[in-house]
């Protein structure tokens, strides 16, 4: 089988993770970086985001690259990720060539902060949508998508792995959080700081606020995050409410890296981590989060037990992006493919 991936290829991007998974599975693949569809300057990207319905500035030029790639080599499947820079006419042309076109939906297209009418109009053209959230399945069906499957996020075992015990860890902290400073996350993080806990914050925009700025460590690569996770007592997992998430990319990545996890209580998180106080602890309110964080910081035995149970739970689990790609092809009834099955799910 030949697979063309259309997505972002940077560190931490899903497009790159699916490329890595394809390589492990022995699939003939190529990744076209969706960054090539964006304006070359920050001002240009901001203009198209604010005044052009979030449409990529070079969408037509990039789509031509995709169509040319499909004309020069017979691809069986085009897999796009997130808000892919293809409009409906481009998808129709690909399908007209007998190519199956799928989208792995990483953000909620109806999130008010992300919603773009040009992209919503493309959704019914796809052969299938694979969404990481159950909450928007009915929305996809209602807008005309014929086939929708729930397929959670995952992790890449080459990237998301425990920090070596023999290597010096990062700067110690009580709680580590990796993710952007969303408006609904700020009160939660603020409550932890005001309780006296020492935080390590990685991600965008935490430096904007006086309360969080001293705890902000910037936007770091996975090596730095793994090191900081090894030095943290508690790893906090927060969902993105505007996305109607039940889990986020970090949910699987944090579990694969290891540590003691404190997570928002959702059905997805319980599927991933198991019952409360088995391999993780949960919270439903801000006071409960602060209380659980303080209890865990003070109890090294509880942290060690939860961490060990989490490692045991994830050992041999089928939660890698290679596993997700195999499942995607199975759900799509793609028969003309073969994989090195000993590599799927390997951690």
**How is the beta sheet containing 148-150 ordered, strand by strand?**
28-33, 2-7, 77-81, 100-105, 128-131, 148-150
User: Is 344 within a domain?
Assistant: no
Enter the pTM of the model. Answer: 0.93
Q: Is 320 helix (H, G, I), strand (E, B) or coil?
A: strand
- Residue 70 above 50 pLDDT? yes
- Residue 198 above 90 pLDDT? yes
Buried b (16+ CB within 10 A) or exposed e, 114-131: eebeebbebbebbbbbbb
Q: What are phi and psi of 172, to 5 degrees?
A: -60, 150
The stretch 24-28 carries a mean pLDDT of: 95
- Residue 171 above 90 pLDDT? yes
- Residue 342 above 70 pLDDT? no
* Integer angstrom CA distances of residue 10 from 16, 42, 163: 7, 17, 22
Q: What is the chain's length? A: 347
Q: Is 33 helix (H, G, I), strand (E, B) or coil?
A: strand
- Residue 347 above 90 pLDDT? no
Supply the pLDDT for residue 316: 78
Q: Structural domain tally of the chain? A: 2
What are the pLDDT digits (tens) for 220-244?
999 999 999 999 999 999 999 999 9
Residue where the block lists tokens 């890698």: 320
Note down the domain range covering 261: 173-314
**Separation of alpha carbons 141 and 150, rounded Å:** 12
User: Is 168 within a domain?
Assistant: no
User: Is 137 within a domain?
Assistant: yes
**Separation of alpha carbons 271 and 279, rounded Å:** 11
User: Is 264 within a domain?
Assistant: yes
Residue 344 confidence class, pLDDT cut points 50, 70, 90: very low
Q: Are residues 92 and 107 in the same domain?
A: yes
Residue 337 confidence class, pLDDT cut points 50, 70, 90: low
Q: Are residues 52 and 142 in the same domain?
A: yes
Residue 332 confidence class, pLDDT cut points 50, 70, 90: confident
**Separation of alpha carbons 280 and 304, rounded Å:** 11
Q: Are residues 222 and 264 in the same domain?
A: yes
What sign results for the dihedral spanned by CA atoms 40, 46, 52, 53?
positive
User: With pLDDT > 70 as the criterion, what percentage of the chain qualifies?
Assistant: 96
236, β-bridge pairs: 262
- Residue 150 above 70 pLDDT? yes
Q: Are residues 301 and 327 in the same domain?
A: no
Strands 199-202 and 173-178, sheet pairing: parallel
301 φ/ψ sector (left φ>0, alpha ψ -120 to 50, else beta): alpha
Contact 105, 132 (CB under 8 A): yes
User: Is 105 within a domain?
Assistant: yes
Q: Are residues 10 and 66 in the same domain?
A: yes
Question: What does the DSSP assignment read for 252-306?
Answer: HHHHHH-S-EEEE--HHHHHHH-SBTTTBEEESSHHHHHHHHHHHHH-HHHHHHH
Q: Are residues 7 and 97 in the same domain?
A: yes
What are the pLDDT digits (tens) for 95-114?
999 999 999 999 999 999 89
Q: Are residues 248 and 301 in the same domain?
A: yes
The stretch 281-292 carries a mean pLDDT of: 98
The stretch 111-127 carries a mean pLDDT of: 95
The overall average pLDDT reported for the chain is 93
- Residue 10 above 90 pLDDT? no
């Amino acid at each position: 089988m030949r697979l063309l991936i259309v997505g972002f290829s940077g560190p931490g991007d899903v497009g790159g993770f699916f490329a890595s998974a394809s390589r492990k599975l022995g699939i003939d693949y190529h990744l076209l970086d969706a960054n090539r569809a964006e304006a070359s300057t920050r001002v240009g990207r901001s203009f198209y985001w604010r005044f052009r319905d979030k449409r990529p500035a070079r969408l037509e030029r990039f789509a031509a690259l995709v169509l040319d790639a499909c004309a020069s080599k017979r691809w069986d499947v085009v897999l796009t990720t997130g808000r892919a820079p293809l409009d409906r006419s481009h998808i129709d042309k690909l399908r007209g060539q007998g190519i199956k076109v799928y989208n792995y939906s990483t953000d909620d297209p109806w999130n008010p902060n992300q919603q773009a009418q040009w992209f919503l109009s493309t959704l019914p053209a796809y052969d299938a949508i694979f969404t990481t959230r159950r909450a928007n399945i009915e929305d996809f069906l209602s807008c005309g998508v014929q086939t929708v499957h729930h397929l959670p996020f995952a992790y890449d075992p080459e990237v998301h792995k425990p920090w070596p015990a023999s290597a010096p860890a990062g700067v110690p902290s009580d709680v580590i959080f990796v993710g952007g400073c969303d408006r609904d996350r700020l009160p939660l993080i603020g409550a932890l700081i005001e309780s006296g806990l020492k935080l390590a914050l990685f991600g965008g925009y935490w430096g904007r606020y006086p309360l969080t700025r001293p705890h902000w460590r910037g936007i770091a690569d996975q090596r730095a995050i793994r090191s900081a996770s090894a030095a943290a007592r508690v790893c906090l997992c927060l969902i993105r409410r505007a996305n109607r998430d039940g889990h986020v990319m970090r949910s699987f990545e944090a579990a694969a890296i290891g540590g003691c996890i404190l997570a928002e209580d959702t059905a997805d998180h319980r599927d991933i981590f198991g019952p409360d106080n088995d391999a993780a602890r949960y919270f439903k309110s801000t006071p409960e989060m602060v209380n659980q964080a303080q209890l865990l910081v003070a109890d090294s035995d509880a942290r060690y037990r939860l961490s060990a149970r989490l490692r045991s739970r994830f050992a041999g689990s089928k939660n890698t992006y290679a596993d997700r790609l195999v499942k995607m092809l199975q759900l799509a009834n793609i028969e003309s493919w073969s994989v090195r099955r000993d590599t799927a799910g390997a951690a």
